[in-house]
Every structure is written in structure tokens, then in C-alpha cells.
Amino acid sequence: MKGVMGLLLAAGLGLVGAISNWFYLERLARTEEQVYFIAIKDGKAVKEGDVIKSDDLERFGIPRSAVGNLENVAPKWSAVSSISGLRANRPLNEGDIILNADRVTRNYRSMAESLQTQEVARWVPIDASTVVPEHINPGDWVSFDVPRVGGSVPTPTGSNSVTSSAGGYTPAEIIGPFRVASLGTRREAVPVSGSRRGTGGSESRIAIVVKLEKDGQLEGQARRLFDAIRLSGGQGVQVQLHSEKLDDQTPASP
């Protein structure tokens, strides 16, 4: 019985302490000098990659004695003009305080700007039932499992062979590797701790970087790839992801 009374007494004292602390902070907020920082307004949210607008921001005051190390990691309200117009490098939700790290913007170049003179981007439909897009990121190297060109027709999706016009089976062909430029509209890695933010079916096409020959035609392996895709009627193909240690030079086109 004494143990129960002790627990109840401790719980009561804890509640009293919490209430006292709250009243203490409230008193500080009314009587002590405030240090103002930049925060996201209530009801506002900024997605990663979107521009932070002045209307998304509000002044957020903290009593000076409670600021602690925040002054070293977050810009004050006087610097709000340096935040408005930046692209968010992380998702920002209502109440979030803007940090100095939020001033470091990522390089959101257009895809065309990222290509070399003798490179083009081409889109490849992928078989969504056999691919997990979250494990593929722009900059990775992939190859594609496609029907071998030569008078054959594809078997149902997911098969690793194709049916020839003579009734036999011809093994599919692996063509690649190619560098990934984007998955659907995504041109960055999926954050490890973040969600996909509803990209869904938009990642059913992979944009790859293809080299051009001197006459302006696609390199040999790219021609074979897109001939095979046309042969399959534009059906989605399977994807093979290569190690990130793969040399940055793709094999010479046959």
C-alpha cells in the first residue's frame, strides 16, 4: 500500500512540476526579451524541391534564456529575405523552424542541361510487377531484359524467354548498361527516412542517357534496345540494376 501511495505522490509531483514549468515559460514569454526566428506558418507546408515563399513564413519568438544553441543553427527573423525564394531541400511542415542547413539548396538543373553534346535521353517502359522503383535512383546503371530481335514475339509479361514465329523459344537478351536520368518525374534518390510522396505509377518509365554516333544515330546497343521494345509492342521490360562500383564508362557498342 505504501508503494502505491508513493507512486501516486510521485505522479502528482511530476504533474505539478510540468504545470509549474509551463507557467514559468509563459511568464518568460511575457516578461523577457524575445529572440525571433523564422518558422513555417500554421496551415502551410512546402514540399522538397518547391520554392519557399514569403507567405509560407512567420516570425517565431523564444525567450532569450530558453534559446540555448538555437542561435548557432538557425537564422533569425532579420534574415528572412535570404530564405524567401529558395528551394526547399527537405519537406517543411507547419511550425518547423528554418535552419541554416536549409539555406544549402540542391542543384535542380533541367534534364537537358545535364546532358552532354553527344547524349540524348530516351524513355523505356518498365514492367512494374517486376521492378521496385525505390531501389533505383538517377545516376545508377541499369540493363534491360528484352526479346531478342529476329522474328520473335513476346511471351506473357514476366517470362524470361520469347516465342519464335516457328513455335520454339528464343532466350531474351540483356542490353546495357545505361545511366538512369530519371524515374518518372523523379530525378533524385528517395530519402531514406522519407516517403515516396505518392509517385506511384509515374515511375513506370525510366529515362536513360544514350550516346549518339557521329552521324547522329543512336549507339548500337541503344538501337537494339528500342528495336526490341518496338517488337514487343511497347510492353514494359524487366530491369537489371548494376553495382554502384560499375566504371563510369559503358562498354563499347558492338
Closest CA to 82 of 107, 54, 56, 48: 54
Is the pLDDT assigned to residue 18 strictly greater than 70? no
For 85-111, what is the mean pLDDT? 83
Report in angstroms the alpha-carbon separations of 189 from 6, 24, 137, 150, 209: 53, 45, 5, 37, 17
Closest CA to 123 of 206, 235, 221: 206
Q: Under 8 Å CB-to-CB from 59, ≥6 apart: which residues?
A: 36, 37, 38, 39, 77, 80
Give the per-residue pLDDT at 248.
Answer: 44
> The whole model's pTM is what?
0.50
157-209 tens-digit pLDDT: 444 444 444 444 456 889 999 999 888 888 776 654 344 444 444 688 999 99
The highest-confidence range among 11-25, 68-82, 160-174, 194-208, by mean pLDDT, is 68-82
Which pLDDT band holds residue 107 (cuts at 50, 70, 90)?
Answer: low
d(CA 200, CA 190): 13
Which pLDDT band holds residue 4 (cuts at 50, 70, 90)?
Answer: very low
Q: Under 8 Å CB-to-CB from 185, ≥6 apart: which residues?
A: 199, 202
How far is the first Cα of the chain from the last one, in angstroms, to the nearest whole number? 86
d(CA 29, CA 48): 33
d(CA 50, CA 42): 18
